């Protein structure tokens, strides 16, 4: 509950900072995915490399002429992204109380910034396919490992503020996908060289990450932010160390400190992670299921849908970039942002997990669209309009329901347990991503 004398968030500055931090969390990975064409062109066999036109609207070289590295890059990239994301999100759920918040958030952002600066520099450096492949995979592992700790820490931090302050993180993450998809369409329309487009992508990501670092450093100066951190028993800077000293003083047999209250004692690492999970398990499992269904079908199934209206025209080129990537990210962003003004159903309502469960219907709906190639299932929804309607409902429900779960989860526990609850929710979000990535292979085989 918010105290009557709680300060106001002047100019919504804290809200905006959390939006920028949410943007900085997912923008790096979205830009990596958007630049897939650049990476695969760098992995071509030298014998066929000269035949490929390095433009943003270049056609993909036929499968029988692709090198092993080129053909396997997308699968390896996904695997090397999801596994570290899940592992380090899990680790963060247990170690976040032992590593200062400043190190976890500012430190992770700094490492990601360095990785992207290196990536931008390597755009201009000639390198063989194998060394380039190895370096790229190492960078993907680094980005997703530190990104997992960053995301978990960020949700934990937001959990100590009112419930609506998880919304800007989710909204910022949704905008990251929209921004990357729009950039991809601009590159297609401009026909600029892939190297130039990729360099612009990575430099843009560096600027956003640097802005996120500056925004985080400005947080402690916000009276609104300080109030909620202190009411949670934390300090904006060096708080972890101070609280540990208080606990040591309290346990010392030679010194009894009346200053340390029972609330401060309860607020620190003595709380069981599993006890907290029992209180938020419905929200945690719900957000996991939301992302399992989403990643299971998008983009593995949705990206292979072919237009029946294009007849080889320009719409054939733009159908997937616009209908799949841009439309998904715009509606996902809209769903995430809606929770800033509407949070229905409530956190204790049975309607919310039911709505989450009903999203499973999108799996057969997309399978029965004009996905090509296909071997087993018939096409029942051939017209482009069916696919577009399904994408709108699919993406909007993903953003809205996931954001609701992430907002409500930490509010089902005591305030002193909110940060741990936030990191547990982030772990189950990542678990959903990993399960969805595994299921995507199954869904595609069924078709």
What would the mean pLDDT of 375-385 be, rounded to a whole number? 92
Is the link from the previous residue into 373 a cis peptide, with omega within 30 of 0? yes
Q: State the Cα–Cα distance between residues 401 and 343, nearest whole angstrom.
A: 10
Angle between helices 101-123 and 13-34 (to 10 degrees): 40
Angle between helices 167-190 and 384-408 (to 10 degrees): 150
Pick from 174, 93, 120, 177: which is nearest to 421 by CA? 93
Question: Taking a C-beta distance cutoff of 8 angstroms, is the pair 235, 229 a contact?
Answer: yes
pTM across the whole model: 0.71
| 230: pLDDT strictly greater than 60 | yes
| 224: pLDDT strictly greater than 50 | yes
The size of the chain, in residues, is 447
- pLDDT 10s digits, 390-428: 999 999 999 999 999 988 988 888 877 887 888 888 889
Question: Encoding tokens for residue 282?
Answer: 């419905």
What would the mean pLDDT of 226-254 be, rounded to a whole number? 53
Compute the mean pLDDT over every residue in the chain, rounded to the nearest whole number. 80
Q: State the Cα–Cα distance between residues 19 and 174, nearest whole angstrom.
A: 10
Domains annotated on the chain, with CATH:
11-237 (1.20.1250.20), 271-447 (1.20.1250)
* Residue scoring higher pLDDT (415 or 253): 415
| 205: pLDDT strictly greater than 90 | no
pLDDT tier for residue 267 given thresholds of 50, 70 and 90: very low
């Amino acid at each position: 509950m918010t105290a009557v004398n709680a300060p106001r968030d002047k100019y919504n500055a804290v809200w905006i900072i959390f939006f920028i931090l949410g943007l900085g969390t997912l923008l790096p990975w979205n830009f990596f995915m958007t630049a897939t064409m650049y990476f695969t062109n760098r992995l071509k066999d030298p014998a066929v490399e000269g035949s490929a036109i390095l433009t943003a609207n270049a056609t993909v070289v036929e499968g029988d002429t692709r090198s092993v590295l080129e053909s396997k890059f997308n699968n390896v990239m996904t695997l090397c992204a999801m596994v570290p994301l899940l592992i380090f999100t899990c680790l963060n759920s247990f170690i976040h109380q032992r590593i200062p918040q400043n190190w976890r958030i500012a430190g992770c952002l700094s490492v990601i910034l360095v990785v992207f600066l290196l990536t931008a520099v390597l755009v201009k450096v000639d390198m063989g396919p194998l060394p380039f492949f190895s370096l790229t995979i190492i960078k993907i592992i680094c980005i997703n490992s530190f990104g997992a700790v960053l995301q978990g820490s960020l949700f934990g931090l937001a959990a100590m503020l009112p419930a609506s302050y998880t919304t800007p993180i989710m909204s910022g993450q949704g905008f990251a996908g929209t921004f990357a998809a729009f950039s991809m369409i601009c590159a297609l329309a401009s026909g600029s060289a892939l190297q130039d487009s990729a360099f612009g992508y990575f430099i843009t990501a560096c600027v956003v990450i640097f802005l996120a670092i500056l925004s985080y450093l400005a947080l402690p100066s916000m009276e609104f932010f300080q109030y909620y951190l202190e009411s949670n028993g934390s300090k904006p800077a060096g708080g972890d160390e101070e609280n540990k000293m208080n606990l040591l003083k309290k346990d010392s047999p030679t010194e009894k400190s009346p200053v340390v209250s029972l609330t401060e004692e309860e607020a620190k690492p003595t709380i069981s992670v599993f006890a907290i999970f029992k209180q938020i398990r419905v929200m945690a499992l719900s957000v996991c299921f939301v992302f399992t269904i989403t990643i299971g079908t998008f983009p593995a199934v949705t990206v292979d849908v072919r237009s029946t209206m294009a007849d080889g025209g320009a719409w054939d080129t733009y159908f997937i970039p616009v209908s799949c990537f841009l439309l998904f990210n715009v509606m996902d962003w809209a769903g995430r942002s809606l929770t800033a003004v509407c949070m229905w159903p409530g956190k204790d309502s049975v309607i919310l997990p039911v709505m989450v469960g009903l999203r499973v219907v999108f799996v057969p709906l997309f399978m029965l669209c004009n996905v090509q190639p296909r071997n087993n299932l018939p096409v029942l929804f051939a017209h482009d309009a069916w696919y577009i309607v399904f994408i709108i409902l699919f993406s909007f429900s993903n953003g809205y329901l996931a954001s609701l779960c992430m907002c409500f989860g930490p509010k089902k526990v005591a305030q002193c347990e909110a940060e741990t609850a936030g990191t547990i929710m982030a772990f189950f979000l990542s678990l959903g991503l990993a399960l969805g990535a595994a299921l995507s292979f199954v869904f595609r085989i069924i078709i």
